[in-house]
A and B are shown apart, each in its own frame.
Chain A
Amino acid sequence: MSGENRIGDTILEVKNISLSFGGVKALTDISFDIKEGEVRAIIGPNGAGKSSMLNVINGFYHPQQGEVWFRGKKRVAMKPYQVARQGVARTFQNIALFKGMSTLDNLMTGRITHMKTNLFWQSIWAGPAAKEELEHRERVEHIIDFLGIQAIRKTPVGRLPYGMQKRVELGRALAAEPKLLLLDEPMAGMNQEEKEDMSRFILDVNDEFGTTITLIEHDIGVVMDLSDRIVVLDYGCKLADGTPDVVRNDQDVINAYLGVSHD
Chain B
Amino acid sequence: MSPLFLNALEVIVNGLMAGIMYSLVALGFVLIFKASGIFNYAQGVTALFAALTLVGFQTGQVPFAHLINTIFGTKIHHWGDGFNTILAIILTMLVMILFAWLLEKIVLKHMVNQAPIILFMTTIGLAYFMEGFGDLMWGADIKTMDVGLPSGGSLWLEDFTKGWAASGTEYYGMYIDVLDVWAAGIAILLVVALTLFSQYTKTGRALRAVADDHQAALTVGISLRTIWIIVWSLSGFVALVAGIMWGSKSGVQFSLSLIALKALPVLILGGFTSIPGAIIGGLIIGVGEKLFEYSVGGLLGGATENWFAYVLALAFLMFRPQGLFGEKIIERV
Contact = CB atoms under 8 A, between A and B. Distances in A.
Interface of A: 21, 51, 55, 60, 92-94, 96
B330 interface: yes
Interface residues of B, number: 3
A61 to B, nearest CB: 9
A21 B330 contact: yes
A21 B331 CA distance: 11
Contacts of B330: 21
Contacts of A92: 333
9 contacts: A21-B330, A51-B333, A55-B333, A60-B331, A60-B333, A92-B333, A93-B333, A94-B333, A96-B333
Contacts of B331: 60
DSSP class of A's interface residues: helix, strand, loop or mixed?
loop
A93 B332 CA distance: 11
Interface in B278-333: 330-331, 333
B132 to A, nearest CB: 34
A145 to B, nearest CB: 29
A56 to B, nearest CB: 12
A109 B331 CA distance: 22
Contacts of A21: 330
A19 B330 CA distance: 13
A245 B330 CA distance: 38
Nearest to A54: B333
A158 to B, nearest CB: 13
A94 B331 CA distance: 14
DSSP class of B's interface residues: helix, strand, loop or mixed?
loop
A60 B330 CA distance: 11
B53 to A, nearest CB: 43
A141 to B, nearest CB: 28
Nearest to A52: B332
B117 to A, nearest CB: 14
A21 B333 CA distance: 15
Contacts of A94: 333
A80 to B, nearest CB: 9
A93 B333 CA distance: 7
- Top 7 closest A-B pairs, CB basis? A92-B333, A21-B330, A96-B333, A60-B333, A55-B333, A93-B333, A51-B333
Contacts of A60: 331, 333
A230 to B, nearest CB: 23
Nearest to B333: A92
Nearest to A92: B333
A21 B330 CA distance: 9
A169 B333 CA distance: 14
A90 B223 CA distance: 43
Given A55-B333, A94-B333, A96-B333, 6 more contacts: A21-B330, A51-B333, A60-B331, A60-B333, A92-B333, A93-B333
A93 B331 CA distance: 14
B327 to A, nearest CB: 11
Contacts of A51: 333
Contacts of A55: 333
A21 B327 CA distance: 13
Contacts of A96: 333
A27 to B, nearest CB: 15
A224 to B, nearest CB: 27
Contacts of B333: 51, 55, 60, 92-94, 96
B331 to A, nearest CB: 8
Nearest to B328: A22
Nearest to A94: B333
A40 to B, nearest CB: 20
Nearest to A184: B333
Contacts of A93: 333
A192 B331 CA distance: 32
A243 to B, nearest CB: 30
A60 B333 CA distance: 9
A90 to B, nearest CB: 9
Nearest to B331: A60
A92 B332 CA distance: 10
A55 B333 CA distance: 8
A152 B127 CA distance: 43
A42 to B, nearest CB: 16
A239 B331 CA distance: 27
Nearest to B330: A21
B77 to A, nearest CB: 54
Nearest to A90: B333
A92 B331 CA distance: 14
A183 to B, nearest CB: 13
Interface string B62-86: 0000000000000000000000000
A96 B333 CA distance: 8
A94 B332 CA distance: 10
A188 B63 CA distance: 63
B42 to A, nearest CB: 28
A93 B330 CA distance: 17
B18 to A, nearest CB: 38
A9 B303 CA distance: 68
Interface string B229-240: 000000000000
Nearest to A93: B333
B330 to A, nearest CB: 6
A6 B333 CA distance: 32
A164 B331 CA distance: 26
A96 B330 CA distance: 17
A51 B332 CA distance: 9
Nearest to A80: B333
